[in-house]
Structure 1
Amino acid sequence: MGMEAFYIVVLVSTALVLLAAFSSLLAFRFGAPLLLLFLMIGLAAGVDGLGIEFSNNYLAYILGSIALAIILFDSGFGTPMQAFRLAAVPSLALASVGVLITASLFAFAAMWLLNFTWLEGLLLGSIVASTDAAAVFFLLRIGGINIRDKVRSTLEVESGTNDPMAIFLTIALVEVLASGERYAGINIGMLAMFVQQMGLGVILGLLGGMMIVLIVSKLDTDRGLTPIFVLALALLVFSFTGAVGGSGFLAVYVAGIYAGNRKMQAIGTIKRFQDGMTWLAQIIMFLVLGLLATPSQFPVIIVPAILLALFLIFVARPLAIWLSLLPFDYTQQEIGFVAWVGLRGAVSILLAIMPILGGLENGQIYFNTAFIIVLVSLLLQGWTIKPVAKKLGLIIPPRIGAVDKVEVDLPGAANHELLSYRVIKDSPVLRGERIPRWATPSLVIRDGKSMRYQYAGRLREHDLVYLFIVPSYSRLLDRLFASRAPVDDDDAEFFGAFALSPARPAADLDAAYGPGLLNESEKGLTIAELMRQRLGGKADYADRVRLGSIILIVRDLDEHDHITSVGMSLEAVEPAITLPIFLNLKDIIQRIRDRLNGRRNRETAASESTPKAPVGRDEGTRENGR
Structure 2
Amino acid sequence: MFDSLLFDTMLIAALGIGSQWVGWRFRIPAIVVMSIVGLLAGPILGVINPSEDFGEVFKPLISLAVAIILFEGSLSLDFREVRGLGRPVFRIVTIGAFLAWILGSLAAHYVAGLSLAVAFVIGGLFIVTGPTVILPLLRQAKLKPRPAALLKWEGIVVDPFGALLAVFAFEIIQFFSNDDVTAMTLLMFFLASGFATLLGYGCAKGLGYIFENGHVPEFLKSPVMFGVVIACFTVADEITHETGLLAVTAMGITLANMHISSIQDMRHFKENISILLTSAVFVMLTASLTKETLLQILDINILAFVLLMLFVVRPLSIWLSTIGTDLTSAEKTFVGWIAPRGIVALTVASYFSSVLSESGFEDASILTSLTFALVFSTVLAHGFSIGWLAKKLGLAIDNQPGVLIVGASSFSTALSKTLKELKIPVLISDSSFQRLETARKAGIPFIREEILSEQTEYNLDMTPYEYMIAASELDSYNALVCNTFVPEIGRSNLFQLALHNRRGEDLEAMGNTIGGRLLFNEQATWEALNEKVESGFVFRKTNITNQYRYQQYMDERHPEAIPLFILKPSGKIEFFTRKSQRKAEPGDLVVSLTPPTKEFKKIQEKITEKKT
**TM over 0.5, yes or no?**
yes
Which amino acid in 1 is paired with 2:224? F
Are 1:285 and 2:281 counterparts? yes
The Cα offsets for residues 181-200 of structure 1, whole Å up to 9 and x where unpaired, read as 44999996687456535533
Indicate conservation of the 8 Å contact 1:46/1:53, yes or no: yes
Are 1:324 and 2:317 counterparts? no
The structure-2 alpha-carbon separation of the partners of 1:197 and 1:448, relative to structure 1 and needing over 3 Å to count, comes to farther
The structure-2 alpha-carbon separation of the partners of 1:120 and 1:243, relative to structure 1 and needing over 3 Å to count, comes to closer
**Shift of residue 213, structure 1, vs aligned partner:** 1.2
Are 1:62 and 2:57 counterparts? no
CA distance in 1, matches of 2:90, 2:183: 22
Are 1:160 and 2:161 counterparts? no
Mapping 1:493-572, distance limit 5 Å: none
CA distance in 1, matches of 2:355, 2:525: 60
| Identity in percent | 21
Structure 1 residues 252-261 or 370-379, which shifts more?
252-261
Number of matched pairs: 443
Which residue in 1 is equivalent to 2:301? 304
**Shift of residue 383, structure 1, vs aligned partner:** 0.7
Which residue in 1 is equivalent to 2:167? 171
CA distance in 2, matches of 1:236, 1:86: 35
**Shift of residue 316, structure 1, vs aligned partner:** 0.7
Which residue in 2 is equivalent to 1:236? 231
The structure-2 alpha-carbon separation of the partners of 1:221 and 1:208, relative to structure 1 and needing over 3 Å to count, comes to closer
CA distance in 2, matches of 1:354, 1:383: 30
Gaps of 5+ in 2: 407-411, 417-426, 438-446, 453-473, 479-497, 508-517, 527-563, 572-612
Which residue in 2 is equivalent to 1:73? 71
Which residue in 2 is equivalent to 1:23? 19
The structure-2 alpha-carbon separation of the partners of 1:263 and 1:81, relative to structure 1 and needing over 3 Å to count, comes to same
Match of 1:151 among 136, 147, 151: 147
The structure-2 alpha-carbon separation of the partners of 1:44 and 1:404, relative to structure 1 and needing over 3 Å to count, comes to farther
**Shift of residue 54, structure 1, vs aligned partner:** 4.0
**Shift of residue 45, structure 1, vs aligned partner:** 1.8
Structure 1 residues 310-319 or 422-431, which shifts more?
422-431
Which residue in 2 is equivalent to 1:386? 387
Which residue in 2 is equivalent to 1:345? 342
Indicate conservation of the 8 Å contact 1:146/1:397, yes or no: no
The Cα offsets for residues 371-390 of structure 1, whole Å up to 9 and x where unpaired, read as 11111111111110111112
Match of 1:97 among 95, 98, 103: 95
The Cα offsets for residues 233-257 of structure 1, whole Å up to 9 and x where unpaired, read as 2222323333455932223223222
The Cα offsets for residues 8-44 of structure 1, whole Å up to 9 and x where unpaired, read as 3212321221122122222123332211222222222
Which residue in 1 is equivalent to 2:594? none
TM-score (norm 2): 0.63
Aligned partner of residue 402 in structure 2, secondary structure: coil
Indicate conservation of the 8 Å contact 2:296/2:369, yes or no: no
Are 1:314 and 2:315 counterparts? no
Indicate conservation of the 8 Å contact 1:88/1:157, yes or no: no
CA distance in 2, matches of 1:234, 1:372: 31
The Cα offsets for residues 375-409 of structure 1, whole Å up to 9 and x where unpaired, read as 1111111110111112222224499934599xxxx
Indicate conservation of the 8 Å contact 1:132/1:345, yes or no: yes
**Shift of residue 161, structure 1, vs aligned partner:** 1.0
TM-score (norm 1): 0.62
CA-atom RMSD, angstroms? 4.1
CA distance in 1, matches of 2:413, 2:64: 42
Structure 1 residues 185-194 or 33-42, which shifts more?
185-194
**Shift of residue 59, structure 1, vs aligned partner:** 4.1
Indicate conservation of the 8 Å contact 1:107/1:119, yes or no: no
The Cα offsets for residues 547-593 of structure 1, whole Å up to 9 and x where unpaired, read as xxxxxxxxxxxxxxxxxxxxxxxxxxxxxxxxxxxxxxxxxxxxxxx
Which residue in 2 is equivalent to 1:132? 130
The Cα offsets for residues 130-170 of structure 1, whole Å up to 9 and x where unpaired, read as 11222111111x214221x3322221111111122211122
Which residue in 2 is equivalent to 1:599? none
Which amino acid in 2 is paired with 1:350? T
Indicate conservation of the 8 Å contact 2:172/2:186, yes or no: no
Which residue in 2 is equivalent to 1:614? none
**Shift of residue 64, structure 1, vs aligned partner:** 2.4
Which amino acid in 1 is paired with 2:309? L
Which residue in 2 is equivalent to 1:479? none
Mapping 1:377-526, distance limit 5 Å: 377-397=378-398, 401-403=402-404, 426=416, 428=428, 433=436, 443=476, 446=499, 447=501
Which amino acid in 2 is paired with 1:237? C
The structure-2 alpha-carbon separation of the partners of 1:353 and 1:221, relative to structure 1 and needing over 3 Å to count, comes to same
The structure-2 alpha-carbon separation of the partners of 1:436 and 1:97, relative to structure 1 and needing over 3 Å to count, comes to closer
Which residue in 1 is equivalent to 2:592? none
